[in-house]
Amino acid sequence: MTPVIILTALDQVSDRIEGLNAGADDYLVKPFDLAELSARIGSVARRYTGNPNPIIVHGPLEVDVAARSVLRDGRPVSLTAREWALFEALLQRPGQLLSKAQLEEKLYAFGAEVESNTIEVHVSRLRKKLGSGVIETERGLGYRLGSA
């Protein structure tokens, strides 16, 4: 019942088939991007929680985490990669308060330096796109997914 992802330099199709047939849940050939590894870990984890393609309904929002898509009142909402990273972090911990530093960590993966007001800017944009009640602010402490 333990999920297995094979990380290897063996890149032949026959090696991949053998690894997957041996029981691996995924197979990743080196060198690989850490963001891809993270996405694959998330995918395998979702399969093991019994919900391989979760659709999360949050107020007027329908969020397909696997497809990285959001519908607001049935209409598609376009999110940038950084907006998605922040929104997904909040979705993964509903009701929990996430500090600015915790959210900044989600943006460091993009390789750019995070400016002092980056989180505030992205939260503001998310509120405009998703609705003002989607993200709540606890002044001086952080942000949480609102009740929508």
**Residue 112 predicted with pLDDT over 80:** no
3-state helix, strand, coil in the chain (%, to 5): 40, 20, 40
Per-residue tokens: 129: 């796109």
pLDDT in tens, 10-57: 989 899 889 888 888 889 999 888 888 888 888 888 776 665 556 888
Closest CA to 109 of 94, 89, 136: 89
pLDDT in tens, 32-43: 888 888 888 888
Residue with tokens 């397909």: 64
Which neighbouring-strand residues pair with 6?
A: 27
Domains of the chain plus CATH, in order, are: 5-48 (3.40.50.2300), 55-145 (1.10.10.10)
Q: Distance between the two ends of the chain, CA-based, in angstroms?
A: 36
Residue with tokens 């952080």: 142
